[in-house]
Structure 1
Amino acid sequence: MLLMAFFLEAVLHLLYKQWASEESLFPLKNGLPGQILQAMHTSQIVLVDNAPKGTQLKLLLQIEGKHKLYFKPKRYQLSDVINGNIYAGFDRHNSEVFAYYLAIVLNFTWIAPSVIRKIHVNNDILPVATIGLKKTMVKNASGSFCIYGKCYYCKINETVCPDDKGQIEGAAILYLDKTFKIYKSPWRRSYTSKKMEWEKDNNFCKKVISTHSTKRLLNLIDVAIFDFLIQNGDRHRYEVYKGKIVLFDNGKGLGNPMVDELDILAPLYQCCMLSSSTWQHLEMLSGGSLTETVKLLSSFQQAKLATEDHYKAVERRLLKIYATVQYCIGKHSSAKVFKNT
């Protein structure tokens, strides 16, 4: 057991030494992804605290080797449908993990590893909880300790409680202890009834082109495609490292499998440009292979990440992306739509 712990710590140490090549945020070769995920899934927790920032409850776990994980707790059953606007409800923990595998299949490699993990409140949290965390814990009617956390929207009457085994399930996401440049998204929402400029002006992209490089714009369009597939309409800002947008905060995906909010694709259909490599990769994923590959890669989790309705929705949305690209080709020609990067 000690040998295994030493091995997993060494894996994470190697991860940090190889941080962010020009191709990916984390190493993706020689079996390292699986070793990293295994370390995140099984390493002993030595400290638990409230995460320092954010709008929703999440914990900060320190594991062996002083490495850290964000922990977003389960708020919904997989079959729950989130009604309302595109950013309604709590974050979905399964969306964070689903997004990790989806990004890898799409060859969008600037995303933090994420796993489903269960932590026992009495065994894993209470013995190593900080004083600050304990102050945000209350007992429920059955005597179990529940957590309401410390965040912008955290409320004492909206707690996360353990299941009948004393465990809390959630997404464990590798904490990236680096400095990122933060930008407001040109296609951000107002979060009110007020419409933003991009929602009123179909020529909005001309203004974006005047202030953004082609490389950054193509990156934003890739992110829009990714967000459309999972229906994450909450990317009001984005973080950049080594010139690439990092896919943080994917918890608002997988809300309602029956709804496709097309305006998430606005960067694509307003700008009508796309990286040639992205298009080639998307074409290879037709006919159900996109979600089949996600299922295959995520089988390590030994936990269901989405309902069949959500998998069908992803495939349906992929067809709409194809249709949008064909619309752009018909309007401008392939030579003008596809860009080499």
Structure 2
Amino acid sequence: MSMNYAFGFSLILLILVALNIYFFYTLNTVGKRGPVYLYEPDLKPNVYREIYEYLNYLPDQYKSRNIKFIPIQKQLIQTFNSSSPHNTKDVWQYADNWISEESLFPQYNGTLGKILYNMRTAKISRVEIAPKGSQLKLSLILEGKYKMYFKPKRYELTHIVTGDIYGGYDRHNSEVFAYYLAMVMNFKWIAPCVIRKLHVANDVVPVATKELRLTMIKNGTSRCIYGKCRYCHFSKTVCPDKNGEIEGATILLLNKKFQTHVSPWRRSYNSKKMSWETENNFCVKVMNTLNLKRILNLVDVSLFDFLIQNGDRHHYEVYKDRIMLFDNGKGLGNPTVDELDILAPLYQCCVMTYSTWRHLEMLSGGILTETIKILSSFQGFKLATEDHYKAVERRLLKIYATVQYCIGKHGSAKVFKIS
């Protein structure tokens, strides 16, 4: 009995000592890194765990409004506010003659606002079926021979697309939202894009090509359109609203030659895993095939795509050795989902252009989405729900956390590159 009593007493003492150590440790680690998550983490790959750790302890500067962006915001407002009268021909000529290594279109003197205004109001001289793509698109030829792609509205803004990140129809509002996002992020290699409404009976039918008219179905006094594309079918028409109009994104078609490349981080679109999803050192392989400038450009694109959750960039187009931000219609699908694997180029390669990082730091504290709302207001269309705007701000914090993860792993000197 005495031996059993001694053993039991010793066990109790050990438990008491362990509890004292636990409580002492707990009291002395208040405010330090711990296991309490402020954001629910995705615990699949180990890298996600580490990114969420950095997310939970981001410095306050990444959650506060950065006043350094205010002068840039004012410049953007000036270039997108097209309230002053202008000569349409002069604007198109100025845009045509623009040659720059810094931007695809002129960024100053209100030119972008005037271009968007012209795209939204210019008379249409011909409408035809766009020659490429998996979904219905129209080509609008304006007076003066300028051409635009028209992606029709398929969903209401409040519609949530579930399932695969690349699922569903293209969202016309995502194309336009992406354009303003690119401008705010200082990514200047994107075609101007704006929402426009087409009156089917007045704007389309009188100038439609024969090929397009053959894909129209009568709908009362107006007509629905199903077009011609990989997945186009007469059971999947786009019909005018009660005013006889179809809303859509109009994207200025660029009369330039682009080189098309397959993205190293493309998806398989089936259950097959791609190399970037299974290989720990995938970026080493990429660095053996692409130069650093191209990789830095792909990282920039991944930041852009992550903010809108565009997981469908299987190919990319290059002009003047810069990746063009085309085909952004798969964004803004589900505001409750943040697919971190869109950031794979960043967290696998852990490199970023220093100028991109400094600009990103200025977009903290809500000023990113605030600026998008201001710029888009000049055209008079709402681009997204408040849930989507909040999601963009939430994802920006995750980008900050991913960069902090890379800095913690490799150091700032190896992460940030001067281009």
TM class by smaller structure = over 0.9
Aligned equivalents of 1:189, 1:162: Cα separation in 2: 34
Q: CA separation in 2, counterparts of 1:301 and 1:235? A: 28
* Aligned-partner SS, 1:146: strand
Instruction: Read off the aligned partner of 2:256 and give its amino acid letter.
Output: K
Rounded to whole Å, the distance in 1 between the matches of 2:222 and 2:353 is: 51
Cα separation, 2, equivalents of 1:6 and 1:33 = 12
2:209 to 130, 135, 147: 130
Tell me whether 1:249 sits opposite 2:327 in the alignment: yes
- Whether the 8 Å CA contact 1:273–1:338 is kept in 2: the answer is yes
Other-structure match for 1:313:
391
2:345 to 260, 267, 271: 267
Opposite residue 97 of structure 2, the aligned amino acid is: K
In 2, the alpha carbon distance for the partners of 1:66 and 1:7 equals 16
- Structure 2 distance, partners of 1:203, 1:108, is 28
> 1:13 Cα deviation (Å)?
2.1
Whole-Å Cα distance in 2 between the matches of residues 41 and 144 of structure 1?
A: 22
1:95 is aligned, of 163, 174, 177, to 174
Q: TM-score of the superposition, structure 2-length normalised?
A: 0.79
What TM-score do you get using the length of structure 1 for normalisation? 0.97
**Alpha-carbon displacement from aligned partner over 1:285-320 (angstroms, at most 9, x marks no partner):** 000010001111111121100000000000000000
Cα-to-partner distance string for 1:112-158 (whole Å, 9 max, x where unaligned): 00001001000000110000100111123x45300001111111100
The answer on whether the counterparts of 2:117 and 2:379 sit within 8 Å (CA) in structure 1 is no
Q: Which moved more, 1:234-243 or 1:29-38?
A: 29-38
Query: Does 1:235 pair with 2:306?
Result: no
RMSD value over aligned CA atoms?
1.2
Match of 2:95 among 4, 15, 33: 15
State the identity as a percent. Answer: 68
Are 1:300 and 2:300 matched, yes or no?
Answer: no
Q: SS state of the match for residue 301, structure 1? A: coil
Distance 1:92 1:259 in 2: 16
Superposed CA offset, 1:175-205 (max 9, x none): 1121100000000001111010001112100
Q: State the Cα distance separating 1:29 from its structure 2 match.
A: 1.1
User: Equivalents in 2 of 1:77, 1:291: separation in Å?
Assistant: 20
Alignment of 1:72-221 (within 5 A): 72-140=151-219, 142-221=220-299
Q: Which residue identity does 2:290 align to in structure 1?
A: H
Matched, 1:40 2:119: yes
* Paired amino acid for 1:122: A
Aligned residue identity for 2:314: H
**Matched residue SS, 1:53:** coil
Tell me how far 1:5 sits from its aligned partner.
Answer: 11
Q: Which residue of 1 aligns with 2:57?
A: none
How has the CA–CA distance of structure 1 residues 145 and 311 changed in structure 2, closer, same or farther, with 3 Å as cutoff?
same
1:193-246 CA distances to partner (integer Å, 9 max, x unpaired)? 101000111210000011111110000000000000000000000000001000
Distance 1:278 1:251 in 2: 23
Alpha-carbon shift at residue 333 of structure 1 (Å): 0.3
- The residue that corresponds to 1:278 in the other structure is 356
Q: Quote the offset at 1:6 in angstroms.
A: 8.9
The amino acid of 2:149's aligned partner reads: Y
Structure 2 residues without counterparts, runs of 5 or longer:
1-83
Q: Is the 8 A contact 1:92 1:251 kept in 2?
A: yes
Tell me the SS of whatever aligns to 2:288.
helix
Change (3 A) 1:266 1:235: same
- What CA distance in whole angstroms lies between the structure 2 residues aligned with 1:307 and 1:201? 37
For 2:155 and 2:281, how far apart are their aligned partners in 1? 39
Matched letter for residue 201 of structure 2: N
Q: Indicate the larger mover: 10-19 or 260-269.
A: 10-19
The answer to whether the 8 A contact 1:5-1:43 is kept is no
Q: CA–CA distance in 2 between the matches of 1:9 and 1:79?
A: 38
| 1:238-292, Cα deviation, whole Å (9 max, x unpaired) | 0000010000000000000000000000000000011000000000000001000
Q: CA deviation at 1:31?
A: 1.3
Whether contact under 8 Å (1:9, 1:64) holds in the other structure is: no
